Amino acid sequence: MKLNLNIQPLSSWMKVSSEPLIISGPCSAETEEQLLATAHLVKNTGKVSVLRAGIWKPRTRPGEFEGIGSIGLQWLKRAKEETGLPTAVEVATAKHVEEALAAGVDILWIGARSTVNPFTVQEIADALQGADVPVMVKNPINPDLALWIGALERINRAGITKLAAIHRGFSSFEKSAYRNEPMWDLAIHLKTLAPELPILNDPSHICGTRDLIPYISQQALDLDMQGLMIESHIDPSVAWTDAKQQVTPAALTEIVNNLTIRKADS
Ligand code: PEP
Ligand code: MN
């Protein structure tokens, strides 16, 4: 089985300022000051090509911080104006897509809790019709390759050709060192089915704790994944979401500097 996706190579729509491609920024935009301060530090690392920030947060249980909402789009706009970094946000509804596009967000991503639901993915796909925006699709939370593929196909059929997958690991009942099991074989399988599809890795959500991030990042690069999405925060210890896995921009620089890029022999 081949996927027959109609997609453009990553290099045609992603300007990589420094190899490997790094997307970074806070798990959540919390305040304008936090987002702008993080954006400037991330930019100053010289390693980051895209600023990420969640503004609508899919929390597993109610009663926790559910994202700052639409006002965060204005903060992202300002962060882009001040740093020149393109921006990326998670979208989970048609309204998110419309608002993000209207606010000039450069890249959209679909989160793991949305990829599991074909109705949600189709709603997002319908809202994307006619848009020329890159979309990255995270794997579903459960280890179901068909759901991941189905989501990629739905977005592609909506006319989105600037498409990438993000491998962020899978939840499992087994006790594990990881927050989400990498189950690398699923990402490898996807690559064999769609060799032209760029696959990025999200070590932050795989690891759940920052200490493991260098190790998973290196494994991802060794498997020829085309980039890393790593959450960063000016002060991870006080982050409103995913505090244990976020790194400071200084730590991010160190992680990236210590990665080995093994280019295949040509
Ligand atoms: C995130 O990127 O902050 C996020 C919620 O990720 P995931 O969908 O992978 O859980
Ligand atoms: Mn997060």
Q: How does residue 183 score in pLDDT terms, banded at 50, 70 and 90?
A: very high
Domain boundaries, given as residue ranges, for the chain: 23-28+48-56+66-257
Which ligand 1 atom minimizes the distance to the CA of 27?
A: 3
At residue 265, does pLDDT exceed 80? no
CB 179 within 8 A of CB 221: no
- The average pLDDT across 168-173 equals 95
The residue whose CA is least distant from atom 8 of ligand 1 is: 111
The binding-site residues of ligand 1, defined as CB within 6 angstroms of any ligand atom, are: 27, 54, 58, 90, 111-113, 138, 168, 205
CATH classification (class only), 23-28+48-56+66-257 = alpha beta
**How far apart are the CA of 138 and the centre of ligand 1, in A?**
8
pTM exceeds 0.90:
yes
Burial 40-75 (b: 16+ CB within 10 A, else e): ebbbebebbbbbbbbbbbeeeeeeeeebbeeebbeb
Q: State the closest ligand 1 atom to the C-alpha of 168, by its place in the atom list counted from 1.
A: 9
Residue ranges with CB less than 5 Å from ion ligand 2:
27, 242
Instruction: Give the ligand at the shortest distance from the Cα of 179.
Output: 1
What is the ipTM score, two decimals? 0.99
**What proportion of the chain, given as a percentage, has pLDDT over 90?**
95
Q: Tell me what pLDDT residue 266 has.
A: 43
* Distance in Å, CA 89 to ligand 2 centroid: 11
Q: What is the Cα 200 distance to its own chain's centre?
A: 8
With vertex at residue 160, the alpha carbon angle to CA 100 and CA 27, rounded to the nearest 5 degrees, is 40
**pLDDT for position 264:** 59
Mutate to test the pocket of ligand 1, among 117, 205, 228 (most ligand atoms within 8 A of CB): 205
Ligand at minimal distance from the CA of 139 is: 1
Which of the ligands is closest to the CA of residue 232? 2
The CA 8 to ligand 1 mean position distance, Å, reads 25
